[in-house]
Amino acid sequence: MSHDDQLFDAYLAHLKVERGLSKNTLAAYGGDLARYATWLEERGVSVEESSEPDVARYLAHLGAQGLSARSQARVLSALRGFYKHLLGEREVRRDPTHLLEGPKLAKRLPVVMTRDEVLRLLAAPRGQKPNAVRDRAMLHTMYAAGLRVSELVRLELGDLHLEARFLNAFGKGSKRRLVPIGDLAIEALVAYLREVRPRWALRSGSAVPQVFLTARGTPLTRQAFWKSIKDYARQAEIQKDISPHKLRHSFATHLLLGGADLRAVQSMLGHADIATTEVYTHVTGAHLQHVHRTYHPRG
């Protein structure tokens, strides 16, 4: 195996472990990177030697082959992630994708669950088995607070202020924000903290600050929660491809549908730029148009 092949394989392993990508997504990334690797090899260029003109020529080559703008953007995104990883690992000295601009695309609206789908998902962890009690607390907390999955698994006991009905979340760049939570999430958290976590924490052999643990007393990973939420979505017979981030999308959309102020939602989500939050106004607009078409006599 060549050194370049090792670099590509190591990056795919990183995506699988660190980002918890699905098999289909990993396969898409793998295919994009393999085709790029072949293209470089045919031209006698190594990954370390590759430059901005090389990447630009490759994208032009894809366009000439009839690849859609969206697919070209996906390839560029894959290459950006790859080179950013290599830069962090000091395998390359510069990122040749840094200044490249992808094709202009129409924004895709986030996929959100209906309120009924959310209720079914929250009810999916049934019974009082320890895993069900923990997962019920995690799902309720995530939907109540609109957390990213990384924020959820990173929560520590000191971040919970249940009597005051809020928690601390640490988002991108370790920025701290206060997020309110409601009675159902508090009830689910209290049940987990009283009935399950103390027993599991004793098995770790040392103090573990994270709220959500495995049965061995170790912090639960993002990948484990990704798998759990997909399993519960299947049990709840939800047809959409559900992920933790879809629950966050649903949190924001349902707040806006209920009349929440956009700035307040921005603050709860931890968005630095309100433009990021504004995409949810398009989702709610699309929902209202659907309701109008469905129920208005002249719709």
Which residue range is the domain that position 20 belongs to? 3-88
Has 148 been annotated as catalytic? yes
User: Could you tell me if residue 37 is inside a domain?
Assistant: yes
Q: Are residues 166 and 26 in the same domain?
A: no
Per annotation, catalytic residue among 85, 154, 222, 248: 248
Has 161 been annotated as catalytic? no
User: Could you tell me if residue 107 is inside a domain?
Assistant: no
Q: Are residues 134 and 245 in the same domain?
A: yes
Q: Are residues 186 and 250 in the same domain?
A: yes
Lowest-confidence segment of 86-95, 159-168, 193-202, 280-289 by average pLDDT: 280-289
What is the share, in percent, of the chain residues with pLDDT greater than 70? 88
What is the pLDDT confidence band of residue 230, given thresholds at 50, 70 and 90?
very high
Per annotation, catalytic residue among 16, 35, 245, 287: 245
pLDDT in tens, 69-86: 878 888 888 899 899 988
pLDDT of residue 190: 98
User: Could you tell me if residue 103 is inside a domain?
Assistant: no
Average the pLDDT over 118-135 and give the result: 96
pLDDT of 266 over the 90 cut? no
Has 271 been annotated as catalytic? yes
pLDDT of 275 over the 80 cut? no
Helix (H) or strand (E) holding 284: helix 274-295
Asked if residue 160 lies in contact with residue 167, where contact means CB atoms within 8 angstroms, the answer is yes
pLDDT of 44 over the 60 cut? yes
Candidate ranges 2-6, 92-96, 221-225; pick with highest mean pLDDT: 221-225
Among candidate residues 117, 103, 60, the one with its CA nearest the CA of residue 253: 117
Which residues lie closer than 8 Å to 57 by C-beta, 6 or more apart? none
Has 115 been annotated as catalytic? no
Q: Are residues 34 and 152 in the same domain?
A: no
Among candidate residues 107, 108, 116, 106, the one with its CA nearest the CA of residue 250: 116
Per annotation, catalytic residue among 140, 148, 197, 254: 148
CATH assignment at residue 262: 1.10.443.10
pLDDT in tens, 180-198: 999 999 999 999 999 999 9
Task: Please state at what angle helix 69-88 crosses helix 52-64, rounded to 10 degrees.
Answer: 160
- Of 276 and 47, the one with more pLDDT: 47
Q: Are residues 126 and 84 in the same domain?
A: no
Alpha helices in 156-273 (DSSP H): 183-195, 197-202, 222-235, 244-257, 262-269
Q: Are residues 36 and 125 in the same domain?
A: no
Average the pLDDT over 189-208 and give the result: 94
Q: Are residues 168 and 266 in the same domain?
A: yes
pLDDT of residue 43: 93
Helix (H) or strand (E) holding 180: strand 176-180
Q: Are residues 84 and 121 in the same domain?
A: no
Has 80 been annotated as catalytic? no
User: Could you tell me if residue 208 is inside a domain?
Assistant: yes
Per annotation, catalytic residue among 19, 80, 271, 287: 271
pLDDT of 291 over the 70 cut? no
User: Could you tell me if residue 93 is inside a domain?
Assistant: no
What mean pLDDT, rounded, does the chain reach?
86
Number of domains in the chain: 2
174 beta partners: none
- Count CB neighbours of 265 within 10 A: 21
How far is the C-alpha of 207 from the C-alpha of 43, rounded, in Å? Answer: 55
Q: Are residues 176 and 78 in the same domain?
A: no
Per annotation, catalytic residue among 172, 176, 203, 240: 172
Average the pLDDT over 138-151 and give the result: 93
